Chain A
Amino acid sequence: MARTFKEAAIAGIGATEFSKESGRTELQLAAECSLAACQDAGVDPRDIDGMITFTIDNSDEITLARCLGVKDLAYTTRIPGGGAAAAATIFQAMALVNAGVCNNVLIWRAMNERSQYRFGQNPNNMQGYTGGHGTGTLLWNIPFGAMTPASWGALQAQRYLWKYGLTNADLAHVCVQQRQYAATNPKAWFYGKPITVEDHQNSKWIMEPVLRLLDCCQESDGAVALLVTSLERARDLKQPPVRILGACQSIPFNVEVIANFHHDDMTVMPEARGVAKRLWEMTGLKPADMQAAMLYDAFSPHVLLQLEAFGFCKPGEAAAFVKAGGMALDGAIPTNTHGGLAGEAYIHGMNSMAEGIRQVRGTSVNQVTKKTVEHVLVSSGMAGAVLARA
């Protein structure tokens, strides 16, 4: 095959239901969502030639390929950094298609993260602490009782809140907005269950005085897959192609995912700033050119930090921006319109990537209609992409 540069596009999305107990293995969830993504695209799963997932996904690529009957796999890889891998999978799939080495790249993430193990609880295995996951300093925190993602996220956020004179109550508006979106999304775990600022403030402390229960993403069972191919080929497939206009990762010096305490200024997310810089350079676009954004919301402060890092508002202004309706459908940047990882489900960010694709296709249950959706930003903090109408 002669290698020529090819534009990349997302041709298919697939997902299982989102639950607290899937009742089947993670491998089965992976196979189901992968098949669904191929069927959505109109691509024979046997023709998949690239496979990408997260380093901490438990389903083996070769076994999954055997489920799908993949004839001749050309490339596999895995991405470190926990949920930071979400948008990075799109970046790598784009690069493989651009380079002309793969035609049908499958991205998947499958997890029984509520029924089989729980990310939100104290650690019961060493998986996340071994090499290859980009989480090199986590072990240093364990003897001191900082042993959950919420504890690391709170330590990261506390200085930001203090610097700008904010308290936990200022985070409520992110959570209320996301649950409002989830309330009208039948696929969301919290469908039909909006919350108020009072509900947020009455929820129990997880990390006092930074994070309450309703600031935290869910623990979920479920799986999401994407099928990435060339833009040219996607035009002949079943769905309107969603072009990957630009995608990148950014891991600045002394930054690591979540236990991010060793870079110079803890009141900013240097990795998201780095992603923003690369993305805006790569696409020639700016924040005002985005009609929607999906921002990784493990914990509510991360949404504020990303709104600032991508330039939707100035440093320290995101809480007021959200309170004034900035994330709403008629706001400056409709954000996490599926309900986010807090409202819809926590499929490690991949369900947020899928929502970005639906916004470009025009098929979200909370579709942005005030403007024509030309460009959507998807971000998992250390990686991001601009998805565009073809």
Chain B
Amino acid sequence: MTTPTDSTPSAAAAPKPTRIAPIVTPDAKDFWEAADREEFIGEKCSDCGRFRFPPRPMCPYCHSLKREYVKLSGYGTVHSWCMPRHPPPFGFREPPIVAVIQLQEGTRFVSNVVGVKLEDMKQDMAVEVIFEPTMGNHKVPVFKPRGQ
């Protein structure tokens, strides 16, 4: 990560992120640290191989404590969505589209759909992950229409 200085005018021109940074709990630390590196990871059981979300220390299917974080495809579909109009959510200049993303790996993730107008939203539309900056130099995974 670089620190903007007076000698880098392009950095100074970029708007400062207004999005709230994630509040990181101990069990979610690996996920958000990966997001800062623009990696979208999922928690997988090292024994039975099944994915789970949100992260937790034990596999609910086989009760194994062995787990690994693997890079996800970043592909999914828009399972449900809406646009918060009132009250305007903290951290957004324009109302975002919030969505439950059905991930290719089987788990779901609440995020934003960006780069599409509300009237162009389609149920189950294919999306892929990108990253957006937050306050405090962090990043969060959001989704754009696939291939756009």
Contact = CB atoms under 8 A, between A and B. Distances in A.
Interface string B71-112: 000000001111111110111100110111000000111111
Interface stretch (A42-50, A70-78, A140-148, A285-293): A140-148
Contacts of B25: 139
B20 to A, nearest CB: 5
Given A129-B23, A158-B80, A266-B100, A145 B86 contact: no
B123 A162 contact: yes
B59 interface: no
Given A143-B21, A143-B22, A208 B112 contact: no
A273 to B, nearest CB: 19
B22 to A, nearest CB: 5
Interface string A237-258: 0000000000000000100000
A213 B85 CA distance: 10
Given A144-B140, A144-B142, A146-B98, A158 B82 contact: yes
B60 interface: yes
A129 B24 CA distance: 12
Interface in A135-190: 136-137, 139-148, 150-151, 154-156, 158-159, 162
B23 A151 contact: no
A105 B115 CA distance: 55
B82 A208 contact: yes
B87 A205 contact: no
Contacts of A262: 53-54, 107-108
Interface residues of A, number: 39
A142 B81 contact: no
B89 A122 contact: yes
A207 B83 contact: yes
Contacts of A137: 54
Nearest to A124: B90
Contacts of A213: 86
Given A122-B89, A144-B140, A151 B84 contact: yes
Contacts of A259: 110
B136 to A, nearest CB: 11
Contacts of A146: 84, 89, 98, 110
Interface string A258-278: 010110001000000000000
Interface string A211-253: 1010000000000000000000000000000000000000001
A140 B84 contact: no
27 contacts: A121-B87, A122-B90, A139-B23, A143-B19, A143-B91, A143-B140, A144-B110, A144-B142, A145-B95, A145-B96, A146-B89, A146-B110, A148-B84, A148-B87, A148-B89, A150-B84, A151-B89, A158-B81, A206-B86, A207-B82, A207-B83, A208-B83, A208-B118, A209-B82, A210-B82, A259-B110, A266-B80
Q: Which 7 A-B pairs have the closest CB atoms?
A: A145-B89, A159-B80, A154-B82, A158-B80, A205-B85, A207-B82, A146-B98
